[in-house]
Amino acid sequence: MTEMSPLHFKENAIRALGDAELQRALGNMRQGFIEKRTKAAERLPEFDALRDKAKEIKDHVLAHLDLYLEAFEKNCVAGGGTVHWAKDSAQARDIVLNICRLVGAETVTKGKSMVGEEIEINPFLEANGIRPIETDLGEYIIQLRNEPPSHLIAPAIHVNKEQIADAFRQHHRDLSPERPLTDRAALLNEARRALRERFLEADVGITGANFLIAETGSTVIVTNEGNGDLTQTLPRIHIVLASIEKVVPNFDDAATLIRVLARSATGQEMSVYTTVSTGRKRPGDLDGPEQFHVVLIDNGRSKLIGTEFQEVLRCIRCGACLNHCPVYGSVGGHAYGSVYPGPIGKVLTPALQGLENARDLPNASTFCGRCEEVCPMRIPLPKMMRHWREQEYAKRMVAPRVRWALRLWALAARLPSLYHFGARLAAWWLYRRGKKGRGRLAKVPYGEGWTRFRDFPAPLGKTFQSQWRGPRRHRRPSP
Amino acid sequence: MSTAREQIFAALRQGFRGRNEAAAKVGVDARLARRAPNLVPARAKPEQKRAAVAAFTAMAEEAAATVARVNTMIDVPGAVADYLRNHNLPMRAALAPDPLLDAARWERRKTLEVRKGRAEAFDEVGISLAYRGVAETGTLVMLSGENTPTTLNFLPETEIVILPADRVVGAYEEALAPLRSNSEDGSRHSLPRVVNFVTGPSRSADIEQALQLGAHGPRRLHIVIVDDAAGP
């Protein structure tokens, strides 16, 4: 079983690589998400300009976050909403529980919310006698399987349809055990029927928020299924869980972010449902909740303002960095052991939970840079992972052997002649040893991490620098 | 002991030390009052209404909606009945009680049974009226309110939306502009409880990344564009 702690990344990753079911499931992702995003981006000539604008909007917000939160609060209250503030998970959970208790809630339907995962609202409600029901199809599947999500927007991406069928047979006991559940449509229809009843009986609906609009005090959710809308329309009470950095100044700014969100996430031109909610049911309205609560959750974000990690708060949780990450694509989301997997998690998790609790995550990257390339908000994720590695070194959290190696490297990097001498020596020595293995090495000193799983290609005897300085017959004519 | 709110603001202001507070306040107020789209893609700026309706139709169909076009409101019940019959759907629907839809004279179409009001769990077909159509992505803009209840957009398996052609605009910002307070023209509004931007029928790819329609909301979305909704 995967350990849900970022401290077990290495063991989890090794286990994930050997998990045939998981590897099969992850195979679906590599094609779908990446190709669709590329197509959607190519189809909109203004896509990159929109990304620049989106970045600028969030940078402006983060530099004035206190003022925009005040404006959001004022306008939300004016629209008939109630605003609650939570410094941490425990406070946020208590706020939700109190609202549920005031109306005697027994069941709560839930739209997808990452901050809901972060504050672990579900086990808390259950422990207090309230039944939370996830309504996003992927979230519902993993709730039945008693697992956390493994992707920001495709929470059940690690599960195959046979495993879903097993979960449904186990939990939908009122249905015939003989029923065929072999195709995807049958699974979808069964979930639709089961959840329809839950939507209708729920006392409280909890959703997340993709954005908060300060101008109007509105919250915005973006979904494809419509589950979030049924969750917030049918029960008497609607509670929105939102972290404080979700606020944007006005609707024009929200529109800009919406234009990059779906294209980056699923490659859609627009998600099916984008819903702007402002306050409670109005006089004369035939449907809608009687109460509208917004819980604004800090949980470690405010302390990132003014630091080198402030930019990570631009994130709009599209998941593009996960979809394009070779590490995520190989080990899946659970290996990270944190609510936020993939590149964004490698930066955000140490920020929210402390570096000492997530040391391996910033190191689980080759710095290939694809995450930054596709991030709609242009978050410099590799640079920020490097900041964490620097802190790890400065705080003496790295093993002495690695520390010494890094110091030696740093010394050589500052003395070119020493560096060249070392590189020549190593290239010559590896070349000599490689001759026996036909250009491949089965073992390299200090390289067991590599050679345990594959051979190391031996160099050809000369360093890049010496070849560069030598005669270049194939040199192209200069323009 | 200070409240959570005070603690959060104290932590934020710690990060903003050295900021010019007066300038920050002025900048934020100006931004909140500003009514100007940031960057609208060229495709969201169709030159004439006809191009906008054509673009809307193409994009909505791409998002798996179906689109029919009629001349006036009187033609709407016939178009709705045709659609339901062709898809083997019940000839019974919950209908948005909007006065504009009354012009369709539903009672004259005897085979089609409509009930005005919100959608209930048993309703299989919902008929509502769009506030705007956005050409950019074939997106409908639906407002909550006494005439257009939100449940019609989500509970029935089949959602039918009536869209007067003159309500088709280019961009999202354009659709919402009349609903926002504006200090320049002195208008003060508060948004309806809900504004739904709807692009195609409900869908999910949560089972093995394969797209399926009709996850929780409507399995099908049919849009009836009315060229001259004010006409006879």
Could you give the CA distance from residue B8 to residue B149 in angstroms, rounded to a whole number? 38
pLDDT of residue A264: 97
Statement to judge: residues A124 and A224 lie in one domain: yes
pLDDT-wise least confident of A89-103, A229-243, A441-455, B81-95: A441-455
Partner-chain contact A229 B153, CB within 8 Å: yes
A283 and A331 share one domain: no
Of the candidates A398, A427, A444, which is a domain's last residue? Answer: A398
pLDDT at A135: 96
Going from the C-alpha of A268 to that of each of A34, A36, A44, B62, the distances in angstroms are 12, 7, 12, 10
Residue A479 in this model has a pLDDT that exceeds 60: no
Structure tokens at A390: 């620097």
Confidence of residue A2 (pLDDT cuts 50, 70, 90): low
Please indicate, yes or no, if residue A269 is contained in any of the structural domains: yes
- The yes-or-no verdict on residue A66 having pLDDT over 60 is yes
Q: Do A65 and B12 touch (CB under 8 A)?
A: yes
A476 band by pLDDT with thresholds 50, 70 and 90 = low
Residues A142 and A116 in one domain: yes
Give the residue-averaged pLDDT of A100-107. 96
Task: List CB contacts of A124: < 8 A, sequence separation 6 or more.
Answer: A93, A97
Q: What are phi and psi of A212, to 5 degrees?
A: -120, 135
Residues 6+ positions from B190 with CB-CB distance below 8 Å? A78, A79, A216, A278, A279, B181
CB A364 within 8 A of CB A371: no
Query: What does the pLDDT average to over A311-319?
Result: 97
Rounded average pLDDT over B142-170: 97
Above 0.90 for ipTM, yes or no? yes
Same domain (yes/no): A424, A393? no
Least confident of A340-344, A394-398, B95-99, B160-164: A394-398
Interface touch A86/B4, C-beta < 8 Å: yes
- The number of distinct structural domains making up chain A is 3
With a cut of 70, say whether residue B17 has pLDDT above it: yes
Pick A353 or A463 by higher pLDDT: A353
C-beta of residue A215 within 8 angstroms of C-beta of residue B32:
yes
* DSSP H helices in A2-154: 9-17, 20-43, 47-63, 65-78, 89-102, 114-118, 121-127, 137-144
Query: Residue B65: closest CA among chain A residues belongs to which residue?
Result: A272
A35 occurs within a structural domain = no
Nearest-Å Rg of the Cα atoms of chain A is 26
Distance CA B212, CA B202 (A): 9
Q: Is there a single domain that holds both residue A123 and residue A204?
A: yes
Cβ under 8 Å to B: A residues 80-99: 85-87, 91
**How far apart, in whole angstroms, are the C-alpha atoms of residue A218 and residue A73?**
10
* pLDDT (0 to 100) of residue A449: 80
| CB contacts, 8 Å: A160 with chain B | 208
Return the bridge partners of A109, or none: A133, A205
For residue A431, name the pLDDT band (cuts at 50, 70, 90): confident
Could you say which DSSP state residue A463 is in? -
Picking from A37, A66, A195, A277 by the largest number of B CB atoms within 10 A of its own CB, the best residue to mutate is A66
User: Is the pLDDT at B232 greater than 90, yes or no?
Assistant: no
Domain contains A31: no
State residue A448's pLDDT score: 81
In chain B, where the domains are located: 46-226
A108 and A222 share a domain? yes
Is residue A51 domain-shared with residue A191, that is, in the same domain? yes
Please report the DSSP string for A14-51 in residue order. Answer: HHHHT-HHHHHHHHHHHHHHHHHHHHHHHH-TTHHHHH
Question: In this structure, are A166 and A281 located in the same domain?
Answer: yes
Residue of chain A whose Cα is closest to the Cα of B218: A226
Q: Look up residue A334 and give its two tokens.
A: 């659970």
Q: Encode burial over A160-199: b for 16+ CB neighbours within 10 A, e otherwise.
A: bbeebbebbeeebeeeeeeeebeebeebbebbbebbeebb
* Contact between residue A288 and residue B194 where contact means Cβ atoms under 8 Å apart: yes
- The pLDDT score that the predictor gives to residue B146 is 95
How far, in Å, CA of A316 to CA of A388, rounded?
21
Q: A73 and A164, same structural domain?
A: yes
Cα–Cα distance measured from residue B123 to residue B115, given in angstroms and rounded to the nearest whole number: 10
- Burial degree of A251 (CB within 10 A; 0-12, 13-18, 19+): buried
Pick the closest to residue A290 from A305, A301, A280 (CA basis).
Answer: A280
| Cβ atoms of B229 and B49 closer than 8 Å | no
The average pLDDT across A67-86 equals 97
Same domain, yes or no, for A243 and A133? Answer: yes
Name residue A347's amino acid: V
Q: Would you say residue A252 has pLDDT above 90? A: yes
Share of chain A above pLDDT 90, in %: 79
d(CA A415, CA A409): 10
Residues A416 and A392 in one domain: no
Q: Which domain holds residue A456?
A: 411-469
Q: Torsion over CA of A68, A69, A71 and A76, rounded to 10 degrees? A: 140
If phi > 0 it is left, if psi is from -120 to 50 it is alpha, else beta; for residue B2 that is beta
pLDDT in tens, A21-54: 899 888 877 678 999 999 999 999 999 999 999 9
Q: Which of A86, A258, A288 sits opposite B194 (nearest CB)?
A: A288
349-368 of A, contacting B, C-beta below 8 A: none
Whether the per-residue pLDDT at A236 is higher than 90: the answer is yes
- Residue B228 pLDDT > 90: yes
CATH of B46-226 among 1.10.10.60, 3.40.640.10, 3.40.50.10420, 2.60.40.3880: 3.40.50.10420
CB contact under 8 A, A184 and B25: no
The shortest C-alpha distance from B120 to chain A (Å) reads 10
Question: Rg of the Cα trace of chain B?
Answer: 22
Probe site for chain B from A135, A181, A224 (most B CB atoms < 10 A) = A224
Residues A452 and A366 in one domain: no
**Residue of chain A minimizing CA distance to B173:** A252
By DSSP bridging, strand A440-441 and strand A131-134 are unpaired
Mean pLDDT of B70-94: 97
Residue A336 lies in a domain: yes
| A274 neighbourhood in chain B, CB within 8 Å | 139, 196-197, 199
Residue from A134, A246, A209, A200 nearest B206 by CA? A134
* pLDDT band of A457, cuts 50, 70, 90: confident
